[in-house]
Structure 1
């Protein structure tokens, strides 16, 4: 019996204390920015957000990200598991498309990128497709008085390619793009 109790405490120490501390220290040494949450700070060192967590941008002068059913609340990550035939999901999607078309009158209904109308699995995706940013350019140019060409160049500059040239799709981090957008003015 005493041997079993010692074994439990040894394993508790190894698995519950030593291993997590070792992994945390290794992460801090190998990839300190990611270990700290990939935080984006302004010139004065104030935290603006994280590269890994999407934010809500409602102002028409900014690029908008994906829809989040959890309002970008990282404490409750997740998305509803509605089927494509779910009545509530269909209504929400149709309403979101109408709202998007009202904000972006130069876009045809058939050209609305699906990533702007759908949740990610976590509800926190910080990225949109390049097309998702491109269709918003006329609205932002009009709101900010900037040339569309300068905004298209900005979208090109902030488009990230597939990871390792193989995984995922080209994408744009909306927070980084909007920070760069503010710096244009």
Structure 2
């Protein structure tokens, strides 16, 4: 979180020093991709919250793996949208070397995507834990930590999307 906070501040400083260039480049972004990804991550977080509740309740425990798979699918869909978005940029000759804005765009969203991939690995482990009839205290602590990590990835996107795609 601290690394992202520093990167966000550096991005804002760079934007202030080249407001016109950043605004011109930002206008070329497809906000629909960002909005779709925001919805996907919000839904995925909701699934993770429901899975956390399910593992606490013996009556609902069987639902937890399916809910986590739903969260995982939303995360995977996020990556598919991001790949399509990147491909669209590259097809138009836009790369990190195009401008300072696009350098930050690719670094920030790419770093977020890397963390999202780590989150997908964590969700995979959580699915396997949720299938157990009972979890040890250590396993439950890992389950909660994995859920928190997923929420952190979502929170970063909730800052990143408006910062890069919307804020003028």
TM-score, normalization by structure 1: 0.28
Larger Rg computed on CA atoms: 1
Higher RCO (CA < 8 A, seq sep 6+): 2
TM-score, normalization by structure 2: 0.30
Larger strand proportion of the pair? 1
